[in-house]
Amino acid sequence: MAAAAAAAPGALGTLQAGRARLVAACCARLGPGWRLSGSWTVPRVDPAIWARGWTHAAGGAAWRRGYSSEVKTEDELRVRYLEEENRGIVVLGINRAYAKNSLSTNLIKMLSKAVDALKSDKKVRTIIVRSEVPGIFCAGADLKERVKMNSSEVGPFVSKIRAVINEIANLPVPTIAAIDGLALGGGLELALACDIRVAASSAKMGLVETKLAIIPGGGGTQRLPRAIGMSLAKELIFSARVLDGQAAKAVGLISHVLEQNQEGDAAYRKALDLAREFLPQGPVAMRVAKLAINQGMEVDLITGLAIEEACYAQTIPTKDRLEGLLAFKEKRTPRYKGE
């Protein structure tokens, strides 16, 4: 009994030290050098981390409906910064009509390049992932390309898909998947990596890999259970079942379901409405809120609360926090700068 009592404090200390390491590792992603009050030691945000940006190409063809300009034109992926009242919203548009937007080697490279630029761009506030091909979101991996690969090439290619989808999941700003059509296999895994999913009622979604005697390889076996629960996720993966928008909403796979419109972009329009709701909020707060939620969901509650405390501390020294208080006092709309 005495030995057990003596061991308990040591075990508690080990647990607390482990939690401290988790919190420090989590918050290190935001920048070096700051210390949280109390026993938790974590890095302090470097203002330069929020100031980093990249200069995009000027000009470009005007987008349909005339509310954005194209900043980067590619055959299979279009990256657009929206303008005017939508400034701060970036749209990633997949455009492989001839291959049902399937994930090819080239498309994966382009997605990786685009995400790498966006993740350090201070001007980006919300990212929407959509299709520019009517009736299709993404049909999964490019099987015509896959069939030409030998066995030694398949594993590395799937690893690249998984890595890019992880990069999307780790983007520091809110991400929304607008599913206006078919989202199968890797296409649904791409959507699962986004913070929020909206879909048209006519959309079709499923992890269908077991039909091909393989399993989801882009994070589906991990993100689907986290989204809808383990038992139901197993049922859907084991059966390779495909759900429409209404069924997907019923199981919690998507947040909103819309009747499709004549233009075929009902989900995109809803995603744009949501992104507009996010725009007025403090940019630093949005980033650390996402980090706190994502990291907190992977640990126990006590560690999660410590992560929240560390993330909250990131907002205290910001100019935006002072601006929010001043705007409240003066009864006006705050003008946040992400500082």
Contact between 287 and 293 (Cβ < 8 Å): no
Amino acid at 300: D
d(CA 208, CA 120): 34
Q: Is 167 a catalytic residue?
A: no
Helix (H, G, I), strand (E, B) or coil at 315: helix
Q: Is 28 a catalytic residue?
A: no
Q: Is 298 a catalytic residue?
A: no
Q: Which is catalytic among the residues 141, 178, 191, 306?
A: 141
Contact between 288 and 174 (Cβ < 8 Å): no
d(CA 339, CA 318): 6
Q: Whose CA is closest to 31, among 123, 120, 124?
A: 120
Q: Which is catalytic among the residues 70, 189, 282, 296?
A: 189
d(CA 59, CA 69): 7
Q: Which two tokens stand for residue 217?
A: 């390889």
Q: Is 209 a catalytic residue?
A: yes
Q: Give 119's Cβ-side CA count (13 Å radius).
A: 16
Q: Which is catalytic among the residues 70, 76, 132, 209?
A: 209
Q: Whose CA is closest to 204, among 246, 261, 141, 162?
A: 246
Active site residues per annotation: 141, 186, 189, 209
